[in-house]
Structures are given as structure tokens and as C-alpha cells.
């Protein structure tokens, strides 16, 4: 049984979208150890197919060469046969190269594949393009036509394509991302944070910037709709999302603001216990959908064909205005119509269609 090292992406959502690659590798008998930042390690531990997780506390924007060299020396003794490198930069390749792993597999990315032994060219350019003809999408549309053109490739397929590089085998269907949390652990997390049996999770944050964030007032109106239907409501997010959580809880009395009060392990367990989730295009959206919870992803500046939630019980709402997807951190036109014009009742309707 070959032992392989997976160099995980640095973002939560990207890590979730790498799980189909893990599933393909595990299905053919590869024993997978995942190496990732502490910020994504809880996601890796929840992945079926991952045998072990190594946390590496690299500092964002720094080379940390001494730390990488020490880690590589430890990994060298484990005699990995292959490394699958999902980062797109030279730093992500240093550890498996220093560890002398014979085959280092990844996309060309920066430096045109330097330090890789097996290089896969990207399937599509990373620039913006528009469909040749406009698509008629209802604000309630949950699925975009599969053959609709997109500026960027589906990230699940982008990562999963690496599975064929080492073996040259046939191209296999790419499964949907899956995360798994024991139901007992999820139930204990729900009780520990004082949530009822039926509750809705709201995730108003987005690491990339405000152009991905549905307005707080819309989240508050949605929280009120959920409460009127008999659901508890909790807001999940990082400490930087606490102000948004406070605003939602103030405008929708009874909603619980847990932004900054949970570690990622807690948030994953809580999402696994939820009745439904509404989120921006963010890491928590991908986690919730991969946990097979009813999930609505609200998209503005980004493209749900590029970073779709797992399709188990999910919907995406995207107006696809002439100005989107722009992939900008802040709305370059200053109006954020791509998100402002998605109404709370439309989102609630989409979620109720997914929930039992």
C-alpha cells in the first residue's frame, strides 16, 4: 500500500474541495497523510480517506525555511512514495522536495512547475471571461447549466485531475466532497452552545472581502423568517465577524452570535448538527455542504461554477449581473447590486426547499 503525502491548500474552502482527490487516491489503496496549516487541520481530520494529519505552523507571507527543513527531515524517515502538492506556489513544494519524496505531483502554477517531477498544466486560464450568450437565471435558480462557460475551472476537478498523473489510469468521475463528524460529537457541541434541536446557521463572513458578503440587514431579515418558522438561529464566524454577528443578533432578537466564540473544530461539529445553513461563498459554506447539511450559498463577486458547494443538499443563488463575476475584494462600482438584490425571502424559500 503506497504511502503518499498531501500538501493541503491554505484556505478552508479549497481544502474541502480537495477531498474528491483524497477519495480517488484512497479508493485505489493509497495511505494518505495530509500536511496543512493549523487553520485547515480540523477540515483534514474530518476527511474520509485521510489516515493522519500533520500541522505545520508556517507564517503567511514568509519562507520559514528552517521550519520547512526540520519538518522535511522528519518526513524523510517515513519514506513517502509520492507527494500531491495542491498549493500553487513554490513554497508549498519545498517540504516534499527537501524530504526527497521521489515523485512530486502538482499543477504548473508559479515557476512553471519548478521542484515538481510530474506537472499538470491548468485546464483554464485564471482570468475573467463572459459567456458568449447571456444565461436566463431566476433569482431562485439553484443550479447553473453544466455546459455554461466559466472563466475558471471547477476547483474540485482541478485538484482531482492530479489523481491520474501518477498512474496514467482512466479518467474517473469526480465525487462530491464529503466531511464526516460523529453524530454524538455534533450533538454534544449543539448542547454545549445552548442551541435547540432545530436551528439554522448563518455564516456572514468571507475571508476574501466585502464583495462576497451578503448584507447584514438581509441576514437579520432571514434570521427573523427562520425564527417565525420555529427555528433557533446562530451566527458562526471568526472573531473578525463578531460585529456582523452582533448586528444580526440586535436586529433579530433571540439569534445567538457565536462569531469568535468557537474554534474551527467546534464550528464544524455545530454545522453538522444544524437543520440548515445560509452562507456567503466561504470556507464554512463548503464545510456545511460537505457535511451534507441543507446549504444555500449566496454568490456575488465570485462564480459558483468555479467554487460550487458540494451538491448533496445545496443550492446557489447568483444573479449573474453584467458586472459579475468580477472576483474583486470590494465592489468596483460601489453598489454591490449582485448581493443587495438577492432578497431574504428568496434565500429562505431556497433553504426550505432543501430541508425536510
DSSP 68-88: HHHHHHHHHTT--SEEEE--S
For residue 48, the domain's CATH number is 3.40.50.2000
Assess whether 22 and 66 both reside in one domain. Answer: yes
pLDDT tens per residue, range 217-254: 999 999 999 999 999 999 999 999 999 999 999 999 99
Assess whether 265 and 159 both reside in one domain. Answer: no
Assess whether 110 and 191 both reside in one domain. Answer: no
Determine the pLDDT at residue 146.
37
Q: Cα–Cα distance between 274 and 288 in angstroms, integer? A: 9
Closest CA to 153 of 11, 311, 14, 314: 14
Average pLDDT of the residues of the chain? 89
pLDDT tens per residue, range 74-83: 999 999 999 9
pLDDT tens per residue, range 263-287: 999 999 999 999 999 999 999 999 9
Phi, psi of 173 (to 5 degrees): -60, 140
Domain range spanning residue 289? Answer: 183-354
pLDDT tens per residue, range 193-220: 999 999 999 999 877 778 888 999 999 9
Determine the pLDDT at residue 83.
98
pLDDT tens per residue, range 307-343: 999 999 999 999 999 898 988 888 888 888 999 999 9
- β-strands 31-36, 82-85 pairing: unpaired
Assess whether 78 and 211 both reside in one domain. Answer: no
Confidence of residue 151 (pLDDT cuts 50, 70, 90): low
Average pLDDT score over residue span 168-177: 84
pLDDT tens per residue, range 81-134: 999 999 989 999 999 999 999 999 999 987 788 999 999 986 543 333 322 222
Average pLDDT score over residue span 49-74: 94
Average pLDDT score over residue span 168-194: 92
pLDDT at 188 over 60: yes
Determine the pLDDT at residue 150.
53
143 or 27, higher pLDDT: 27
Determine the pLDDT at residue 112.
84
Assess whether 94 and 205 both reside in one domain. Answer: no
Confidence of residue 38 (pLDDT cuts 50, 70, 90): very high
pLDDT at 356 over 70: yes
Does residue 251 sit within a domain? yes
Specify the length of the chain in residues: 356
Closest CA to 305 of 140, 175, 155: 155
Q: Cα–Cα distance between 152 and 250 in angstroms, integer? A: 39
Does residue 175 sit within a domain? no
At which of 105, 136, 167 does a domain end?
167
Determine the pLDDT at residue 125.
37
pLDDT at 42 over 60: yes
Does residue 283 sit within a domain? yes
Q: What is the pTM of this model?
A: 0.89
Assess whether 111 and 251 both reside in one domain. Answer: no
Assess whether 160 and 204 both reside in one domain. Answer: no
Assess whether 192 and 314 both reside in one domain. Answer: yes
> What b/e sequence results for 243-277 when a residue is b if at least 16 CB atoms lie within 10 Å of its CB, and e otherwise?
ebbebbbeebeebbbbbebbebbbbbbbbbbbbbb
At which of 137, 167, 197 does a domain end?
167
Cβ-proximal residues to 74 (8 Å cutoff; 6+ apart), any chain: none
Does residue 226 sit within a domain? yes
Total domains, the chain: 2
Q: Cα–Cα distance between 208 and 203 in angstroms, integer? A: 14
Determine the pLDDT at residue 128.
32
Phi, psi of 188 (to 5 degrees): -65, -40
Query: What are 42's three cell numbers?
Result: 480540523
Does residue 150 sit within a domain? no
> What sign for the dihedral angle of Cα 175, 300, 42, 162?
positive
Strand order in the sheet with 3-7: 50-55, 31-36, 3-7, 82-85, 103-107, 118-120
Assess whether 21 and 160 both reside in one domain. Answer: yes
Assess whether 159 and 207 both reside in one domain. Answer: no
Determine the pLDDT at residue 135.
28
Report CA Rg, the chain: 20
pLDDT at 145 over 60: no
Query: What are 222's three cell numbers?
Result: 432571514
Does residue 56 sit within a domain? yes
Does residue 135 sit within a domain? no
Assess whether 326 and 196 both reside in one domain. Answer: yes
Does residue 149 sit within a domain? no
Q: Cα–Cα distance between 243 and 222 in angstroms, integer? A: 17
Assess whether 198 and 325 both reside in one domain. Answer: yes
Amino acid at each position: 500500500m503506497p504511502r503518499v503525502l498531501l500538501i493541503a491548500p491554505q484556505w478552508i474552502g479549497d481544502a474541502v474541495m480537495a477531498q474528491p482527490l483524497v477519495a480517488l487516491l484512497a479508493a485505489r489503496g493509497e495511505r494518505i497523510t495530509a500536511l496543512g496549516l493549523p487553520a485547515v487541520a480540523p477540515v483534514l481530520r474530518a476527511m474520509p480517506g485521510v489516515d493522519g494529519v500533520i500541522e505545520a505552523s508556517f507564517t503567511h507571507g514568509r519562507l520559514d525555511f528552517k521550519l520547512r527543513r526540520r519538518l522535511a527531515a522528519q518526513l524523510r524517515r517515513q519514506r513517502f512514495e509520492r507527494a500531491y502538492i495542491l498549493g500553487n506556489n513554490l513554497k508549498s513544494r519545498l517540504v516534499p522536495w527537501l524530504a526527497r519524496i521521489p515523485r512530486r505531483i502538482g499543477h504548473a502554477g508559479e515557476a512553471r512547475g519548478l521542484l515538481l517531477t510530474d506537472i499538470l498544466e491548468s485546464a483554464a486560464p485564471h482570468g475573467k471571461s463572459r459567456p458568449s450568450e447571456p444565461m436566463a437565471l431566476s433569482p431562485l435558480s439553484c443550479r447553473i447549466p453544466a455546459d455554461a462557460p466559466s472563466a475558471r475551472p471547477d476547483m474540485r476537478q482541478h485538484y482531482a485531475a492530479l489523481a491520474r498523473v501518477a498512474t496514467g489510469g482512466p479518467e474517473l468521475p469526480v465525487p462530491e466532497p464529503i466531511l464526516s463528524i460523529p453524530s454524538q460529537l455534533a450533538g454534544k457541541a449543539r448542547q454545549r452552545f445552548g442551541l435547540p434541536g432545530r436551528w439554522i446557521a448563518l455564516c456572514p463572513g468571507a475571508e476574501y472581502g466585502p464583495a462576497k458578503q451578503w448584507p447584514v440587514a438581509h441576514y437579520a431579515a432571514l434570521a427573523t423568517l427562520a425564527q417565525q418558522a420555529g427555528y433557533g438561529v446562530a451566527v458562526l464566524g471568526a472573531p473578525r465577524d463578531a460585529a456582523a454577528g452582533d448586528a444580526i443578533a440586535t436586529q433579530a432578537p433571540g439569534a445567538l452570535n457565536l462569531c469568535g466564540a468557537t474554534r474551527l473544530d467546534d464550528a464544524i461539529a455545530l454545522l453538522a448538527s444544524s437543520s440548515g445553513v445560509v452562507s456567503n461563498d466561504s470556507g464554512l459554506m463548503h464545510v456545511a455542504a460537505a457535511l451534507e447539511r441543507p446549504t444555500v450559498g449566496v454568490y456575488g463577486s465570485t462564480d459558483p461554477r468555479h467554487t460550487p458547494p458540494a451538491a448533496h443538499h445545496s443550492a446557489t443563488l447568483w444573479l449573474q449581473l453584467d458586472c459579475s463575476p468580477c472576483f474583486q475584494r470590494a465592489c468596483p462600482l460601489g453598489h454591490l447590486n449582485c448581493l443587495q438584490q438577492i432578497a431574504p425571502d428568496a434565500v429562505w424559500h431556497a433553504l426550505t426547499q432543501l430541508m425536510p
